[in-house]
A and B are shown apart, each in its own frame.
Chain A
Amino acid sequence: DAGVIQSPRHEVTEMGQEVTLRCKPISGHNSLFWYRQTMMRGLELLIYFNNNVPIDDSGMPEDRFSAKMPNASFSTLKIQPSEPRDSAVYFCASSLTRDNQPQHFGDGTRLSIL
């Protein structure tokens, strides 16, 4: 079974550039979550969607970050302009929106902003 698929796995870019991270959730899952993981702050929830609608984006650090889910099988997280402090591993996870359902994580995108 295909799990959550994220791309790219690694991204290195210069400060000021636009970065787009992509996620394909597990087919049939109707909740999607974006997380950021750093040594200093641990795992942080950035935003989550139910049925393609953003429910809570209070974790998005600032206006430079935006996320979209145009359909049930695709989501993007965009950073524009990027800054060195955005360097982190970004994870996407998906789940069924029912009680007791686990979240399934992708392998993450390791982002380095120079």
Chain B
Amino acid sequence: GNSVTQMEGPVTLSEEAFLTINCTYTATGYPSLFWYVQYPGEGLQLLLKATKADDKGSNKGFEATYRKETTSFHLEKGSVQVSDSAVYFCALSESNTGNQFYFGTGTSLTVIP
């Protein structure tokens, strides 16, 4: 079946530190992969996506590369800011599931000045 595994949180970093949030997936076919961000009191917002192997999604300084050989889609940012404090969700969808998404459990990030 389909599933997503994210690294456990919470993660606390100092401003300007390097961020990595690990995500690995299991899928029966050829999934698309997504990262969503949730700020306090808000819904999930799409951060970036990649639709095939070796694609790199990027947005707002965040990047993630679709690695089929390691079934991974790790989120990275070179220099985090206080405003990046949020919960980050990795997700996959497969075309044979009617666009149903499979979400990871979320990783809480706190950036301190």
Contacts and interface: CB of A to CB of B under 8 A. Distances in A.
Given A100-B32, A100-B51, A50 B105 contact: no
Interface residues of B, number: 21
Given A43-B103, A48-B98, A97-B99, A106 B89 contact: no
Contacts, number: 57
Interface in B80-102: 89, 93, 95, 98-101
Contacts of B43: 4, 91, 93, 105-108
Nearest to A101: B99
B73 to A, nearest CB: 14
Given A42-B106, A100-B49, A105 B44 contact: yes
Nearest to B52: A100
Interface of A: 4, 31, 33, 42-43, 45, 48, 50, 55-56, 91, 93, 95-108
Given A55-B98, A93-B43, 4 more contacts: A43-B89, A45-B100, A98-B99, A105-B45
21 contacts: A43-B106, A45-B100, A48-B98, A48-B100, A50-B98, A55-B98, A56-B100, A91-B43, A93-B44, A95-B99, A96-B99, A98-B99, A99-B51, A101-B99, A103-B99, A103-B101, A104-B46, A105-B36, A106-B43, A107-B42, A108-B42
